[in-house]
Copies of this chain bind each other. A is one copy, B any other.
Amino acid sequence: MKGSAVVLLSGGLDSATCLAIARDEGFDVHAISFDYGQRHRIELDCARELAHAYRVADHVICCIDLRTFGGSALTADVDVPKDRPVDEMSAGIPITYVPARNTIFLSFALALAEVRGAVDIFIGVNALDYSGYPDCRPEYIRAYEAMANLATRAGVEDSSRLTIHTPLIDLTKAEIIRRGQRLGVDYGLTSSCYDPLPSGAPCGHCDSCALRTKGFSEAGVLDPRTARW
């Protein structure tokens, strides 16, 4: 074992791949997920199944109510955009952006890392498909890491110990899927849809469904999630 790492696990395709990568690299994983008032709970169920499948050391689910702030289609009573062409998604910051979400999520991951004695944090951000999200950019992650290294007990002793790993940051969705396939990720356990049907089936029309469909198509792989329904 390489030691402990904290993995942010949303239950989506990217974080599942991230979890597989951390395990493949030999880390003992502490998974962290958030019940943040999102419109659906299916991704939390997926996170639980993934955590179990990957035999994580522990899986912490933090309840934080981001609905207090509103400001996003994912946490407020605002319609999720549907049927947008993938090419148009990168123009501007989408309404599905949740204010400061990654900053908040990473801060809880940092607390968990400190308590568990971990100095490695994995987050499945991606700068290509989510180019409109400020908190998915490499320069943001580097700045977060610099801050995190000053924020904790570990940082007082050595301000370069903590690493934020972003193994997917410059991969296309198809490349992420191929990487996950090589590691044996069961994408049937993941949910990407922003607005799933009550049955848990993906809507097939939101930005996230469109990106996922395009990714599997380009990777030349059948999406086991879609095949479920």
Contact = CB atoms under 8 A, between A and B. Distances in A.
Interface of A: 60, 62-66, 68-71, 93, 97, 99-104, 106-108, 110-112, 114-115, 134-135, 137, 139-140, 143-144, 146-153, 155-156
A139 to B, nearest CB: 6
Contacts of A155: 134, 140
A69 B112 contact: yes
24 contacts: A62-B68, A63-B63, A63-B64, A71-B115, A93-B153, A93-B156, A99-B111, A99-B115, A99-B153, A100-B110, A100-B111, A100-B151, A100-B152, A103-B107, A134-B152, A134-B155, A134-B156, A135-B152, A139-B150, A140-B147, A143-B146, A144-B147, A146-B146, A146-B147
Nearest to A153: B93
B108 A104 contact: yes
A54 B77 CA distance: 31
